[in-house]
A and B are shown apart, each in its own frame.
Chain A
Amino acid sequence: MGINIIIGYILMFIGAFFFLASAIGLVRLPDLYTRMQAATKATTLGAISSILGIGLMKEEILVKSIILAVFIFLTAPISGSALIRASYKAKSPLTDKTVVDRLKEKEGETK
């Protein structure tokens, strides 16, 4: 068993762990915004880590898996931002633990 196979398995294990943690986060966190934090962060690294792990185990798809990882890196945050902004416009409630909301202050000014 080559060293690349071992590293591949480790990366895939890390990826699976981050997926699990993000699933737990979705259940435990109180409101949509904090859940988005768990969803966008953990799935990004989870997906990238799994893809690179598979790429390391099969050399013929290594370059393609790196390109895939780069595109996930570039696009995942954009969908995260768009979703969280849309939910704020749809007035999804913030949790009681929220300490400050500057966006509300701003939108109060313009009205």
Chain B
Amino acid sequence: MEKANYLSRVIFETIVLFLTWILLTESLATSELVFGLLIAVIISLGTANLFTEHGLAHLHPKRLFYLIIYIPYYIYQVIKANVQVVIIVLSPSLPIKPGIVKVKTNLKTDVGKLALANSITLTPGTITMEIEGEDVYVHWIKVDDESVEGATQSIVSPFEKFLKEIFQ
């Protein structure tokens, strides 16, 4: 994904802020909409360069499509993660085998890496500790595979195939 120009960034941030405004006010009255749009534009003019690097490119139909598929998949993974941690915590023998493993990611953009780190933190017994270049350090409550390749296979790859389409 290339870096976008200022105008595209402003329009993208305005759209995001305006949608959030509509959801928060839950009203379609003209005065509410006009005021919300005005505030959204003012904030966007000031903060667009901090808010996004790629602007309207985020709204490409293919990216939105993968994002919409990703959300239920992500929720499913989160529920699975919670159930597994609960099982570990409640079982009398406390079957933990913690460790810090290193995994590799192919994602290049900062937003993509952030999304990956968040996804890892919310899945079965893993928390991202550090990202440096393409290396991601992950605390894993039940280490199945100490090697870099094996850990990458089981921690990163379920998410990366989606995130690559969304953020690359």
Binary flags per residue of A75-99, CB closer than 8 Å to B gives 1, else 0: 0111011001100100000110111
- A interface bracket (residues with beta carbon within 8 Å of B): 35 or more
Question: Considering only CB atoms, which chain B residue lies closest to A67 in the complex?
Answer: B23
The answer to the question of A57 belonging to the interface, with a C-beta cut-off of 8 Å to chain B, is: no
Nearest Cβ on chain A to B56's Cβ, whole angstroms: 21
Check if A63 sits within 8 Å of B127, measured CB to CB. Answer: no
Per CB-CB distance, the 5 closest pairs between chain A and chain B, nearest first, are A77-B121, A25-B89, A100-B99, A102-B102, A21-B86
Q: What DSSP secondary structure best describes chain B's contact surface?
A: mixed
Nearest Cβ on chain A to B125's Cβ, whole angstroms: 6
Check if B121 sits within 8 Å of A85, measured CB to CB. Answer: no
Check if A77 sits within 8 Å of B118, measured CB to CB. Answer: yes
Which of B10-18, B32-40, B75-83 is the contact stretch?
B75-83
Q: How far apart sit A37 and B138, CA to CA, in the bound complex (Å)?
A: 11
Residues in A with CB closer than 8 Å to B24 are 64, 67
Which of B46-54, B90-98, B154-162 is the contact stretch?
B90-98
The answer to the question of B2 belonging to the interface, with a C-beta cut-off of 8 Å to chain A, is: no
Q: How far apart sit A100 and B146, CA to CA, in the bound complex (Å)?
A: 7
Nearest Cβ on chain B to A1's Cβ, whole angstroms: 25
Check if B89 sits within 8 Å of A84, measured CB to CB. Answer: no
Residues in B with CB closer than 8 Å to A28 are 89, 94
Q: How far apart sit A63 and B128, CA to CA, in the bound complex (Å)?
A: 31
Check if A40 sits within 8 Å of B127, measured CB to CB. Answer: yes
Check if A81 sits within 8 Å of B128, measured CB to CB. Answer: yes
Q: How far apart sit A95 and B139, CA to CA, in the bound complex (Å)?
A: 12
Q: How far apart sit A28 and B89, CA to CA, in the bound complex (Å)?
A: 7
Check if A103 sits within 8 Å of B100, measured CB to CB. Answer: yes
Check if A33 sits within 8 Å of B82, measured CB to CB. Answer: no
Check if B98 sits within 8 Å of A44, measured CB to CB. Answer: no
The answer to the question of B59 belonging to the interface, with a C-beta cut-off of 8 Å to chain A, is: no
Known: A45-B82, A67-B24. A81 touches B129 (CB 8 A): yes
Nearest Cβ on chain B to A34's Cβ, whole angstroms: 5
